Amino acid sequence: MTAKPLVTVFGSLHYDIMVDSPDRPRKGETLAGSAWFPKCGGKGGNQAVAAAKVGVAAAMIGAVGDDDFGRALLANLDRRGVDRSHVRIVRSAGSGMSVAIFDADGDYGAVIVSGANLSLGGADVGAAADLLARTGVLVLQNEVPDAANAAIAGAARAAGAHVLLNAAPARALTAELQGNVDILVVNAVEAADVSGRPVDTPSDALVVAAELAQRFLHVVVTLGGDGLVYAGAEEAPFTLPAIPVKLVSTHGAGDEFIGVLAACLASGRPMRAALQAANAAAAKLVATPESER
């Protein structure tokens, strides 16, 4: 029997505390929220789960603390069908966590505490050599140290994997990391940060994506309600419109997009078809209540 295509995610695991509020508080303001609930997340964890949902094999390389949050994060990966044999338990730091506050329109703001995620480094890369040799697409984000991302990107490339970087949250990218990234996915704010140019309209995004495609083989700029733009080696730059849905919550939409995109690419689908599938998955997620995800 042929093995399933493998997506490996190297990155963050956070235990999220979600708060429903009429608005996000201003500086010095206290608001009365209506509900709160826990959720297992982190960009890395979310992306691995999203890839597993569409039928590929998904593996996670990460770190959690030796605490209740960490145990919940590991149990969630097991429950969602993600191989977590390369998730390390750290006894010198707590698990990563976040607090996300949702307003009445479904938008949110969040604060993360990285904890054990910051311990990822060269030892994790070396321990995952066998896994990387079987990986079709390696997914990275910016919630772990840049040096760790650069090390595993180089190792994955050497092993024959494609490397997808979701450059979020926005931060400067080292030349070493950039040189080992095949697919760059950013939103408008991150595209502006990476390129040094403003991205205020879809036209701006097309220009910036084309410029970034001189540094990366494939560039995707996601624009929320304005859809996305693509530029790269496979075909001429193009746009995809957003899929109209009734917005319930934007939380996790970007991670759903990344996980499905990686899964489709690992399965051999062409870029346009992979982007269409990822776009549809993100639209479905934002129209789904958190309790039903």
Residues annotated as catalytic are: 255
AA identity, residue 142: N
Spatial separation of the C-alpha atoms in residues 139 and 11, rounded to whole Å = 8
Helix (H) or strand (E) holding 176: helix 175-178
Task: Categorise residue 160: left if φ over 0, alpha if ψ from -120 to 50, beta otherwise.
Answer: left
> Side by side, which strands form the sheet with 57-65?
83-90, 57-65, 6-10, 137-141, 162-166, 183-187, 218-222, 228-232, 238-240
- Pairing verdict, β 218-222 and 183-187: parallel
**Residue-wise DSSP of 177-209:** HHTT-SEEEEEHHHHHHHHSS---SHHHHHHHH
Helix (H) or strand (E) holding 277: helix 271-286
Residue 64 CB neighbours (<10 A): 30
227 DSSP assignment:
-
169 DSSP assignment:
S
Spatial separation of the C-alpha atoms in residues 8 and 69, rounded to whole Å = 22
Exposed / middle / buried, residue 54 (Cβ in 10 Å: 0-12, 13-18, 19+): middle
With vertex at residue 191, the alpha carbon angle to CA 284 and CA 5, rounded to the nearest 5 degrees, is: 50
Distances from the Cα of 260 to the Cα of 18, 121, 140, 180, 289, angstroms = 24, 26, 14, 21, 19
